[in-house]
Amino acid sequence: MQSNLKIGKSIQKTIPKQTLAKVLAETFKIGIIKSNLIAMFAGLTLALYTNHISPLEKLPEIIFTTIGSALVIGAAGAFNNWYDRDIDSIMIRTKNRPTVTGAIQSKTTLFLGVSMALLGLTALVIATPLAALFGFLGLFFYVFPYTIWFKRRTIYNTEIGSISGAMPPLIGWAAITSDLVHPGFFGLYAVTILWQMPHFYAIAIRKHDEYKAAKVPMLPVIKGFKRTYIQTNIYLIALIAASFLFVSLSISIVLVALLLSVVWLTLSIVGYKKMTPEKWAKAMFIFSLNHITILFATIIFYSLLAPFFKL
């Protein structure tokens, strides 16, 4: 009995104490919410620019789309944490998540996820029904096809998950216009979906042993580093080609997208020859974050400033 008490105290000491704000932030994956909101604003502002609409004219739509997107993305994070708590307990980078440590109960996580999903989709409907449709599709694909069905079953889990990951800019676009055949719409979708594979392959290499221990069939775990490297470069070449989808909108955006993607491919090829897989993956991961941040920031600022300078 005393031995069990000592073990219990030891386990409690290993679990870091967390404030309520930190628990909620990790449960809803606040970092992912922020990054996806940038993507959403890229789609929203590009739609404003291409349709010659002032942000003030669409202020209610912008507000409700921002609130709705944040809630839906947070709900997706909560559902993912709720469902994956068994494998999260195995992986070092996720073992201290609140759903694993017990800082938040699984029933509470599920309740909050459902509540946020309903509130978020309602806010998106108020913005535009089309924005709500993309919000629903993003949430659905992330929770069911990706998290529940395919993440633990196939090496193509990243490709399946990328469908959901590409929805935020489409939500922003749909909040402003219903034109779904515009080159800007396809450009946003293509760039966002293609970017995700090199980004997540890099994470999978860096956390290879953890994914292997959790029996998650990530590409480098099942097929090895060389196959992952080749597939990464294929997607980077496709990403370079996708840069030209913006050509009818802005040469500046095309050049930024093209330069970033070419540098990324160069880093991949040169790094593969000179670095260990772990260092290569780290370099690729860091550059992927810079790539998408710079590109979306360029789209946002260009779309907002271009009308004033008649670019």
Q: Which residue has the higher pLDDT, 127 or 17?
A: 127
Contact of 140 with 76, CB cutoff 8 Å: no
Lowest-confidence region among 4-8, 10-14, 107-111: 4-8
In angstroms, the first-to-last Cα distance of the chain is 75
Contact of 46 with 173, CB cutoff 8 Å: yes
Q: What is the pTM of this model?
A: 0.91
Query: Could you tell me which of 32, 287, 51 has the C-alpha nearest to residue 138?
Result: 32
Backbone φ and ψ of 181, nearest 5°: -115, 10
Apex 85 CA angle, 145 and 194, nearest 5: 40
- Per-residue exposure over 219-255, b if at least 16 CB sit within 10 Å of its own CB, e if not: bbbeeebeebbebbbebbeebbebbebbeebbeebbe
Q: What is the pLDDT of residues 211-224, one digit of tens each?
A: 999 999 999 999 99
Per DSSP, 17 falls in state: P
pLDDT of residue 17: 66
Q: What is the pLDDT of residues 68-125, one digit of tens each?
A: 999 999 999 999 999 999 999 999 989 999 999 999 999 999 999 999 999 999 999 9
Q: Determine if residue 218 is left, alpha or beta; phi over 0 gives left, psi from -120 to 50 gives alpha, anything else beta.
A: beta
**Residue 307 pLDDT greater than 90, yes or no:** no
pLDDT of residue 308: 85
> What average pLDDT does this structure show over 263-282?
97
Q: Where residue 309 falls among pLDDT bands split at 50, 70, 90?
A: confident
> What average pLDDT does this structure show over 277-305?
97
Residue 238 token pair? 């496709």
Q: What is the C-alpha to C-alpha distance for residues 119 and 102, in angstroms, rounded to an integer? A: 26
**Residue 270 pLDDT greater than 80, yes or no:** yes
Q: What is the C-alpha to C-alpha distance for residues 106 and 101, in angstroms, rounded to an integer? A: 11
